[in-house]
Structure formats: structure tokens, C-alpha cells
Amino acid sequence: MIRHLFKLIWNQRKSNFLLITEIFFSFLVLFAVLSFIFYSYHNYTQPLGFKYDKVWQLWLSPNTDSAAHNIAVQEQMIQRVRTFPEVEYASLSNSNTPFAFSMMSSDLSYRGKKGVETNVFNVQDDYINVFDMKVSQGRWFGPQDNASLHDPIVINKKLQEELFGDEAAVGKLIRINDSTQYAVIGVVDHYRSYSEFDPEKAAYFHRINLDKDKSSIWNGLVIKVKPGAGVAFEEKMVRELSRIAKDWTIEVTTQEKMRQSKAKVTTVPMVALGLVCGFLVFNVALGLFGVLWYNINRRYAEIGLRRAIGASSKQIRNQFVGEVLVIATFGLLLGLVLAVQFPLLQVFQLSASIYWESIGAAAFVIFLLATICAIYPSYQASKIFPAVALHEE
């Protein structure tokens, strides 16, 4: 029966060419969209390495060019923020805080290894408390680092694996240039700050020491507030800071709002691609339905003759469902020839499992769609009475 169906559809390949082509392109679009969705979902399920609830973000921007004045104002602001009873912890940082549309990177190498592109985060000692992070090896920054011979850094495990392999990272010295070396004092398991839907990348944290660095302005300030802090406290804090920094621009938001804004960067294209894919699949469904309906009307006498010589309703129904599934199979086979190249060649450096899952899911959707479209027309064909069909012929 199966061999007969394949032979039948192959002999009719010219008439079914457009439909097979539609299924081919639909499969490829489904494969691409599902790969994007599975990739994003896989990243979403991975740990962030920090907690963002009750964390507020302050953006600080001086409007004068006086470096000495701005640095003094910066120190006064961080000291004032820490005195608010609503604030548990506060830390200055770069603009690349979690969920911000900002990145800072550098290349690190160790013992002649190829440089590893690494995200850089400049933070103060309380940063770990603001985001409730955990150190799995070594320790975090502290006052004891004020007299450190080398600049201390804390790295994530991703950087440890790429830079040191199986070696222990704590205590290692990493040369940045001819005059500077970083000393690794700790390792955090995870830190995935750019987006919930992005993969984790190699990263390290560099300590901000205001007593030592008298030339840098940090335009990020993250604070962890106590439960109950709301709009009233925000207004009071901005008012107090504006008195200290009269010539500064101060903006306040929350990490939750930043997370939602960053999530839209992934979810909006995902929804748009889903709608385009759905429209294409819907057109394929109409094509499958129309082809099967046309075949039934064109082969009315054939169906009546088969019923007359003993074919059951189930056999008639299975034949037409089978024909649609065979048409779908021809389109899928063409698509598979291209799709399997992605996991084999590791295109875009994605995990092969994501591609195989997408291939399987796309094939399942196509076959499910073909089956659904064939159910009603094949049911109608199975109800044709031989006497009526032969009489009409």
C-alpha cells in the first residue's frame, strides 16, 4: 500500500510540484523559527547567577567638564544613598549593569593561549549584596584588597573554563599589558546579565576603589531597597541627590523594568516570525485541503468502483490520507537535505541538539497539519456509495 502511494504521487509529481515546493519552504521556515525559539528557551532556563527583584538602577550623568568636581560629587552621592534607611546596599558600576543596552569587553590570555573575549564589569564591594550573588570559589572583594599588589578580579566559571581549562583559577595572575596584572581572587558559577534569552559569556568583575582611582566617573549606581520602598522614596532620593549634584542628570528605573524592555528585543521578533510562519503554514493547509478535495471530485468514479469491488470505507479514507502524507514527505525530504547541514557543520555555533529538536518538531508540525487537512475530505470520500458514483459516471 505504501509503495503504491509513493509510486502514485511520484507519477503525479508535476501536478503536485507547487504543493511540494510550498511544503519544502514551509518546513525550512518552521525549522528556522523553531531553532530560534528553542535556542531562546534553552537560554531562558539557565540560571542568571543573580537576583534582580528590589534592585533599582540610577543613571548618573554630569553636565560639567570639571573632573575633580564631578569625582567629589560622585563620592558624596554614593555616601548619601547609603544613609537612606530604605536602602540595604548600594554600588557604583559601569553602564553595563544587568539588562542594560550596554556592553564592555576585553581580550584576556593566559600562558600564550588564544585571547578570550570577556565581558568586563567594574563594581564596588557591595555589588555582590545588591544582586545577592554567590561566590563558589575563593572570595569577593573586600577592604583587604586596598593594599593588594595586583588588581583583584572575580571571574565567572565560563571564563575559568575557557582560560584555565581544568586548572584552579583562584590565585592565578593574568597580564593585561606590560605594566598591569590581574589577580583572580574568586569565581562565581554564573553571571548572565545581558538578557534572559542570551547565552552566558565569559566575564570578570574588576573592583572600583574610589580611594585609589581619582579620575573615573561611574555613571551607573545600583541599589537594593527594602520591602515597601516605592514612589515616595524615589522622589525623596532624587530630590536629595539633586541638591548634592545640581549640575547632574539623574534617572531612576528598576531592574524589573529593564528586564522587561530587554525581553521585548527577543520576544517581539519571535512573535513576528511566528505570525509570518503561521500565515505560510495556513496557506499550505489550504493547498493540501484543496488538492485532496479536487482529487476526490476528479476520481469520483474510481472511488465508486473500488467500493463496488469490496473496498471498505476505512480503506478509502486511509488511501487519501496516505496520499497527502506522501506529498508532505516529498517536501520534507527536500527540506531535510538542507536542514541536516546545520547540526553537521555547526552553523552559528549552536548546540546540535537544538537543530535536531527543531528538525523533529518542524517535521511533526508538517505531518500533523497534513493529517488534519486530510481528515474531512477523506471522510467524505469514504461515504461515497458505489451505485450513486457509477450512476453519475
Pairing of strands 220-225, 87-93: antiparallel
pLDDT of residue 282: 86
pLDDT of residue 71: 86
Rounded Cα gap, residues 332 and 326, in angstroms: 10
Q: Give the residue carrying C-alpha cell 525549522.
A: 31
pLDDT of residue 272: 92
Q: Are residues 222 and 277 in the same domain?
A: no
pLDDT of residue 384: 65
pLDDT of residue 385: 57
Does the residue 52 lie in any domain?
A: no
* β-bridge partners, 55: 224
Q: Are residues 39 and 150 in the same domain?
A: no
Mean pLDDT estimate for the chain: 86
Residue type, 289: F
Q: Of the candidates 185, 214, 246, which is a domain's last residue?
A: 246
Mean local confidence (pLDDT), 357-381: 86
Mean local confidence (pLDDT), 28-48: 93
Q: Are residues 16 and 118 in the same domain?
A: no
Does the residue 58 lie in any domain?
A: no
Which of 84-88, 100-104, 155-159, 284-288 shows the lowest mean pLDDT across its residues? 284-288
Does the residue 345 lie in any domain?
A: yes
**Domains contained in the chain, number:** 2
User: pLDDT class for 301, splitting at 50, 70, 90?
Assistant: low
User: pLDDT class for 121, splitting at 50, 70, 90?
Assistant: very high
Contact 134, 141 (CB under 8 A): no
Domain span at 14: 2-46+266-392
Does the residue 328 lie in any domain?
A: yes
Task: Compare 379 and 173 and report the one with higher pLDDT.
Answer: 173
DSSP-based three-state secondary structure for 97: coil
Rounded Cα gap, residues 86 and 77, in angstroms: 15
Q: Are residues 68 and 40 in the same domain?
A: no
Nearest 10 degrees: CA dihedral of 189, 193, 194, 199?
20
Q: How far from the centroid of its chain's Cα atoms is residue 265's Cα?
A: 10
DSSP-based three-state secondary structure for 91: strand
User: pLDDT class for 179, splitting at 50, 70, 90?
Assistant: low
Residue type, 365: V
Residue 310 pLDDT > 60, yes or no?
yes
291: buried, middle or exposed (CB in 10 Å: 19+, 13-18, 0-12)? buried
DSSP-based three-state secondary structure for 180: coil
Does the residue 54 lie in any domain?
A: no
